[in-house]
Chain A
């Protein structure tokens, strides 16, 4: 069998290096598209050969690497990672097509960084060894840092450094957690291992309750900052807003924080010394993020910043759903990651187009754009509706699953989340009303509608939002399988 996971991780990285050697924009974008399409085809092949009825890791690759430290090259996918790989594989080629006719300095570096991010992110989703996991985890930082600091907006330096330091500090705390579990297991068994499934299984045998809680909290901190969740979100609005459109979309694809929650946190949660405390922490962070992000989005004057805050609000569902510990809520939270990736891609693409076409993103300075940009208006209204959780679109499936599922165990937190729904609708519709509808603001000058490439990529994602809203099963089935396994573990422990 061919090492398909190695291929989808390494091909983008190799092609990224090749793109650096190209001289023209045409060569760079062609290579980038080729690379991402190959990844897409391989992922689709993998998807159709994936058994969604079992929760085990599939397509596993295992090679001993540094045996003395217990480090190995261990890759695999399960129902948690498969949909996220699929999300990246689908959106990346569309992102390349979206930027097809853009003019920018050093296009070869630009496309190389995009491909490098793709490889690193998929690497995180496939790594089954903590060493590998951490390397890919940190590797995602670097290309994104450069994307923001080279092609970003006016405050790019501030935003990129803030993002880098903030999330890097969080990664180091997470690393402490990894070392904690690594050395504890080493002490217990006498053999070192960085293997993720092995270490997660060893966690329960750690004797010290304080050690277990500390490890859990350290890992949790690393993931929560990446999600990001209130109150560790303040890097996000700056980074998302200052990034170029492609960078913002890549940020949205960076679902590694939530992934860590499902893959690493939930399996060890029942074995911590105080599981109920941990659940409460997650539930508070999730529900507060939802309502806090919504209020902050309402107060924004910049369209892109509003979308960035709405992202904080939406990601709160991921944390809340994970804390809900009912298979419906956990799979709903996983689905939220997938759906949010699709929806936010279109939202950020819309923001980028408006900024390019009019020279501003200040909502009150826009107005009546729908008259000049009818195609954008249709796609944007659909994306906004999806983002505010309209049934029939993918966001609703995730939200209703999280809300209904989490209510079983966490009714009070769900009520907080419910209160945010009207606010969420309000800022979306109000922004649409001021930016797209009403009288056209003549000061904006000549405004052209989206081009064919942009229409294609945004259109395809919009159709996927609709498709998964009507038929979530193609990805939800495997999520349900994985979450049922997690939840049955909890039930066995009496949590």
Chain B
């Protein structure tokens, strides 16, 4: 049996593990952790074998499709894009599961934890494997509900219950946009087929959608006086979904609060099973985006803005996990930016963006697991109470350093020496430069460079405040057990070396996603539909300064952090007053919470609209009562005929009906 026939098992095994752990986990040691670990290990082995096979045969695609209901299908599609994601998700999720055995050992409901994380992983794998947009949406929502359950894992904590709800509702705003996109897409395709869908044609399957891009692009909608092509509308709505899931501005607000769950859940959400879904969605539907240059422009700007916007908040947070949360938002912004510049470089953008996604998964999982290790040992995640943790936890500190170097993107330009993040982030920034050269707009490039400086600053601030210097409080602590440190070490190796080893192969492999025997898209032709031309391929040479720029700003960030938080040459408190307006703005997260949650959801929606509704409803009720009372008064004179016994209503009905029959009959006769 060939390994590609086992592809369907990749999401199915963790799903099965969910059921088994849910019902049997309580009776097993460590909450039945062995079940999801075994299942995800197998999924990982299948994924990696398939990836290697695809690497050897670039034209090959695994595709199976089955009828579901009406004109919809269920199917699996493994192309380079999916294969890379599958391998990354199963690998990272496996390590997090192994780590969780130690981390969750003192919890009272480990079996529920492992059941839910297994389902979380299964949903994400199902999302990646989908061969149609509806199935992708279904798994997308399942990912959302699993995150809801896991963020609210300690549901007896009011803050956890609240954060879970916030995460679900905020992402749901995006989900509704995504659903609206699907609905419009369906209706367009339905019209293209004139309402009669031939047997065996599944209209929401990717090959069917991509085939009809020219017709969809030719349809126009009039929105507020503007003529908008349906392809632009649909891709923008899809991107709206991605903004919610991948924590892009302005729907990023749920992600920093999502740390209310166990830290391992944060690692899963931030690295493997949730926030990458939005980037994946844009990459998966990339042919549509290529035909909609306006949408790609918005992707570029939202991405670049989110990268810098989140980074500014990252530098003032005092909570270990919160800094990392803002870091994720910022890095996702880079990935979106990477996709957006596809408007200039075409399909290569998927390779560039996905490369950063995978590298980020390694170092961000590592950062969170290190943070978890610290929290597990020390019991707090307030950096102001930490310091000098490296002395008690040398291994955790070393792996944390590796992850930080990867996040900051330290490496030597022009060579193949560097951390994973160096290769992928550099590629995005370089292409943002190319984007500037081609289109004449330099804003994305400038934002990306400044964000790189801030990235390095906040991560080394975190490192110096937490791991070096003198302990600020007496926290005790010890190095974590092997089940936790082994996954840390493995991830550290990947965070340091994966990028350097694969940078050449990776890009070429993933960028070829849409040229195979399932879909065969001519990217240049799609660009023509969008009314523009892609930059001609060929080797471009940036000035040396531009080549070194990301490295220079990263080192600058490191230096500033070292001077302020390492050597303490400047006292931060004297430099910036806590009452400083900018500090307060950043620390209060640009007051988005106040506007979003307190004003919009509570005041406008709940106290405003919902109560206005209930007022109107009382009006309707009153109207009914009033009508009834008029009738009652009219009936007052007939009161003596009324016995008051309710049973007689039935008799009255029959008599009434008979009378009515006679009445109508008479009327008809007269007519």
Q: Taking beta carbons and an 8 Å cutoff, which residues of A are in contact with B?
A: 134, 138, 142, 145-146, 149, 162, 164-166, 168, 172, 175-176, 179, 183, 186-187, 231, 233-235, 292, 295-296, 298-300, 326, 328, 331, 368, 370-371, 381, 385, 390-392, 396-397, 400-401, 403-404, 407-408, 411, 414-415, 418-419, 421-423, 425-426, 429-430, 432-433, 436-440, 471-473, 476-477, 480, 491
Please state if B134 and A429 are interface contacts (CB–CB under 8 Å): no
Stretch at the interface among B33-41, B172-180, B352-360, B525-533: B172-180
Q: List the 9 closest pairs (A to B, CB-CB), nearest first.
A: A391-B138, A299-B610, A437-B161, A295-B613, A437-B155, A404-B186, A298-B610, A407-B187, A299-B614
Please state if B165 and A418 are interface contacts (CB–CB under 8 Å): no
* Residues of B close to A473: CB separation below 8 A: 68-69
Residue-wise interface mask of B (177-201) relative to A, using a CB-CB cutoff of 8 A (1 in contact, 0 not): 0011011101100110001000000
With contacts A165-B628, A368-B156, A391-B141 taken as known, whether A407 is within 8 angstroms of B71 at the C-beta atoms is no
Find B617's partner among A146, A234, A471 (CB 8 Å cutoff): A234
In the complex, whether B158 has a CB less than 8 A from a CB of chain A is yes
Please state if A175 and B660 are interface contacts (CB–CB under 8 Å): yes
* Residues of A close to B165: CB separation below 8 A: 429-430, 432-433
- Closest B residue to A164 by CB, please name it: B649
With most chain A CB atoms within 10 A of its CB, the pick from B155, B168, B169, B191 is B155
Give, as a whole number of angstroms, the nearest-CB distance from A433 to chain B.
5
Please state if B649 and A296 are interface contacts (CB–CB under 8 Å): no
In the complex, whether B52 has a CB less than 8 A from a CB of chain A is no
In the complex, whether B569 has a CB less than 8 A from a CB of chain A is no
In the complex, whether B621 has a CB less than 8 A from a CB of chain A is yes
Please state if B176 and A421 are interface contacts (CB–CB under 8 Å): yes
Stretch at the interface among B452-460, B535-543, B661-669: B661-669
Residue-wise interface mask of B (216-241) relative to A, using a CB-CB cutoff of 8 A (1 in contact, 0 not): 00000000000000000000000000
Please state if A476 and B650 are interface contacts (CB–CB under 8 Å): no
In the complex, whether B475 has a CB less than 8 A from a CB of chain A is no
Please state if B661 and A179 are interface contacts (CB–CB under 8 Å): yes
* Residues of B close to A432: CB separation below 8 A: 165
Residue-wise interface mask of B (564-595) relative to A, using a CB-CB cutoff of 8 A (1 in contact, 0 not): 00000000000000000000000000000000
In the complex, whether B377 has a CB less than 8 A from a CB of chain A is no
Please state if B646 and A138 are interface contacts (CB–CB under 8 Å): no
CA distance A168 to B654 in the complex (A): 12
- Closest B residue to A301 by CB, please name it: B614
With contacts A425-B172, A440-B156 taken as known, whether A234 is within 8 angstroms of B621 at the C-beta atoms is yes
Q: List 8 A-B contacts (CB under 8 A).
A: A146-B646, A295-B613, A371-B156, A411-B184, A425-B168, A425-B169, A426-B601, A477-B69
- Closest B residue to A411 by CB, please name it: B187
Give, as a whole number of angstroms, the nearest-CB distance from A156 to chain B.
12
* Residues of A close to B664: CB separation below 8 A: 176, 179, 183
* Residues of A close to B650: CB separation below 8 A: 142
* Residues of A close to B157: CB separation below 8 A: 438
* Residues of A close to B606: CB separation below 8 A: 298-299
Q: Report how many A-B pairs have Cβ atoms within 8 Å.
A: 155
* Residues of B close to A439: CB separation below 8 A: 156, 158
* Residues of A close to B169: CB separation below 8 A: 422, 425-426, 429
Residue-wise interface mask of B (635-671) relative to A, using a CB-CB cutoff of 8 A (1 in contact, 0 not): 0000000000010011001001100110011001000
CA distance A326 to B186 in the complex (A): 12
* Residues of A close to B601: CB separation below 8 A: 426
CA distance A295 to B617 in the complex (A): 11
Please state if B69 and A397 are interface contacts (CB–CB under 8 Å): yes
Find B70's partner among A145, A176, A300, A331 (CB 8 Å cutoff): A331
* Residues of A close to B149: CB separation below 8 A: 381
* Residues of A close to B621: CB separation below 8 A: 234
Please state if A438 and B158 are interface contacts (CB–CB under 8 Å): yes
Find B183's partner among A187, A292, A404 (CB 8 Å cutoff): A404
CA distance A144 to B145 in the complex (A): 37
With contacts A404-B186, A439-B158 taken as known, whether A328 is within 8 angstroms of B613 at the C-beta atoms is no
Please state if B69 and A408 are interface contacts (CB–CB under 8 Å): no
Residue-wise interface mask of B (609-625) relative to A, using a CB-CB cutoff of 8 A (1 in contact, 0 not): 11101100100110010
Please state if B657 and A175 are interface contacts (CB–CB under 8 Å): yes
* Residues of A close to B624: CB separation below 8 A: 162, 166, 234-235
B147-169, CB < 8 A from A: 148-149, 152, 155-158, 160-162, 164-165, 168-169
Find A401's partner among B70, B179, B195 (CB 8 Å cutoff): B70
B18-35, CB < 8 A from A: none
Please state if B69 and A390 are interface contacts (CB–CB under 8 Å): no
* Residues of B close to A437: CB separation below 8 A: 152, 155-156, 158, 160-161
Please state if B180 and A423 are interface contacts (CB–CB under 8 Å): no
Please state if A407 and B184 are interface contacts (CB–CB under 8 Å): yes
- Closest B residue to A233 by CB, please name it: B620
* Residues of A close to B138: CB separation below 8 A: 391-392, 396
Give, as a whole number of angstroms, the nearest-CB distance from A435 to chain B.
11
In the complex, whether B142 has a CB less than 8 A from a CB of chain A is yes
- Closest A residue to B612 by CB, please name it: A295
* Residues of B close to A418: CB separation below 8 A: 176, 179-180, 183
Find A390's partner among B145, B190, B661 (CB 8 Å cutoff): B145
CA distance A166 to B141 in the complex (A): 40
In the complex, whether B301 has a CB less than 8 A from a CB of chain A is no
* Residues of A close to B142: CB separation below 8 A: 390-392
Please state if B191 and A476 are interface contacts (CB–CB under 8 Å): no
B481-515, CB < 8 A from A: none
Please state if B141 and A438 are interface contacts (CB–CB under 8 Å): no
* Residues of B close to A370: CB separation below 8 A: 155-156
With contacts A328-B70, A414-B183, A480-B70 taken as known, whether A149 is within 8 angstroms of B646 at the C-beta atoms is yes
In the complex, whether B468 has a CB less than 8 A from a CB of chain A is no
CA distance A300 to B610 in the complex (A): 9
In the complex, whether B249 has a CB less than 8 A from a CB of chain A is no
Please state if B161 and A438 are interface contacts (CB–CB under 8 Å): yes
In the complex, whether B8 has a CB less than 8 A from a CB of chain A is no
- Closest A residue to B616 by CB, please name it: A292
Find A179's partner among B195, B649, B660 (CB 8 Å cutoff): B660
* Residues of B close to A400: CB separation below 8 A: 134, 179, 182
* Residues of B close to A425: CB separation below 8 A: 168-169, 172
With most chain B CB atoms within 10 A of its CB, the pick from A299, A390, A472 is A299
Give, as a whole number of angstroms, the nearest-CB distance from A55 to chain B.
16
CA distance A171 to B346 in the complex (A): 63
* Residues of A close to B548: CB separation below 8 A: none
* Residues of A close to B562: CB separation below 8 A: none
Find A234's partner among B134, B156, B173, B620 (CB 8 Å cutoff): B620
Please state if B71 and A328 are interface contacts (CB–CB under 8 Å): yes
CA distance A403 to B152 in the complex (A): 30
* Residues of A close to B162: CB separation below 8 A: 433
